[in-house]
Amino acid sequence: MTEKIGFIGMGIMGQPMAANLVTKGYAVMVYNRSADKTKLLADLGAKVAMTPKEVGEWAQVVFLMLTGPEAINDTLRGPDGLLAGLPSGGVIVNMSTVPPAYSRTLAGDLAQQGITLIDAPVSGSKKPAEEGTLVILASGPEEAVNQLESVFLGMGKKVVYCGIAGNGSAMKMTVNLLLGAMMAGLSEAVQFGERCGLGADIIINTILSSPLGCGLYNLKAEMLRNNQFPAQFPLKHMFKDLGFVLETAEQHHTKTPLGNAVYALYQQGMAAGLGEMDFAAVKKVLAAM
């Protein structure tokens, strides 16, 4: 068992993920830029650091669950940054969603300082994070990933080993391309059916009882029935991730016509001020058309 675990980023996902590690008996030190979000973890018995550097000085392995590349760079660098505290031989596990190219560059930069990067984004949102049923898309040196398996399984139900660092992020892009399209597809179908005179309830019940029923649609059914979209996976993050998908598609000379179309829908959601709502609020974009 890894004795001392650092966890940086106490957002929607980071808080329940770190809480699960504390509950499973790991010694955890947390940090968040906005200090108020560390309260839940402090109450559970986690140590709270004042800077990322302090986390690096204490922990053997440090998990990051931050918005994206900019937040990670801000956390790693500077006199109070994580790299100012983490010695050579340390391990950073980035679970934030980032482009694969960013992960590969970061892995190379950290290797020069003797630090191993494990690129391990997650599939699943707030509820699976709370229930410890995330799917972890891990990549990087296989031995290092294997050594952390029990820690990963403290937060998730399955670890998928994807290969070299960057491949976990590539898998995450693949999954979120489908996720963005599936949510937009359900929203458009419900919107269409409603305009044809059907109620949201009967449309959703029909879809759920047909071969189209799936975990995602079950999770989002209540939001569409009530037209209320409290954030589990905020629309601003889906917009960010689809931007990464399009950027990655270009780098790999592949076309994503559906991805481009749904990116434009989430972009309209951002312009309409829906960024803090769940990404299922793409339904509001379609309704406003």
Q: Which stretch binds ligand NAP (CB under 6 A): 27-35, 83-91, 152-160, 203-211?
A: 27-35
Our CB check for ligand NAP shows the closer of 78 and 163 to be 78
> Which residues in the 124-153 window bind ligand NAP by CB under 6 A?
125-126
Pick the binder of ligand NAP from 61, 62, 71, 155 (CB under 6 A).
Answer: 71
What is the set of active-site residues? 172
> Which residues in the 237-276 window bind ligand NAP by CB under 6 A?
237, 241
Our CB check for ligand NAP shows the closer of 91 and 120 to be 120
As given in the structure block, the two tokens for residue 280 are 């299922």
- Decide: is 74 part of the binding site for ligand NAP (CB under 6 A): yes
| The length of the chain, given as a count of residues | 289
How many residues line the site for ligand NAP (CB under 6 A)?
27
Q: How far is it, in rounded angstroms, from Cα 229 to Cα 277?
A: 6
- Decide: is 70 part of the binding site for ligand NAP (CB under 6 A): yes
Q: With H, G, I as helix, E, B as strand and everything else as coil, classify residue 278.
A: strand
Our CB check for ligand NAP shows the closer of 64 and 203 to be 64
Q: Report which DSSP code applies to 93.
A: E
- Decide: is 37 part of the binding site for ligand NAP (CB under 6 A): yes
Q: In this structure, how many other beta carbons lie within 10 angstroms of the beta carbon of residue 261?
A: 12
Q: How far is it, in rounded angstroms, from Cα 176 to Cα 174?
A: 6
* Contact pattern from residue 95 through residue 124 relative to ligand NAP, giving x for each residue in contact according to CB under 6 A and a dash for the rest: -xx------------------------x--
Our CB check for ligand NAP shows the closer of 91 and 129 to be 129
Our CB check for ligand NAP shows the closer of 193 and 230 to be 230
> Which residues in the 47-66 window bind ligand NAP by CB under 6 A?
65-66
Q: 182-188 long-range CB contacts below 8 Å, 24 or more apart?
A: 182/214, 182/216, 182/217, 183/216, 183/220, 183/238, 183/279, 183/280, 183/282, 184/261, 184/262, 184/265, 184/266, 184/282, 184/286, 186/217, 186/220, 186/224, 187/224, 187/280, 187/282, 187/283, 187/286, 188/286
Which of 6, 137, 9, 140 is CA-nearest to residue 70?
A: 9
Question: Which residues form the interface with ligand NAP (CB under 6 A)?
Answer: 9-14, 32-34, 37, 65-68, 70-71, 74-75, 96-97, 122, 125-126, 232-233, 237, 241
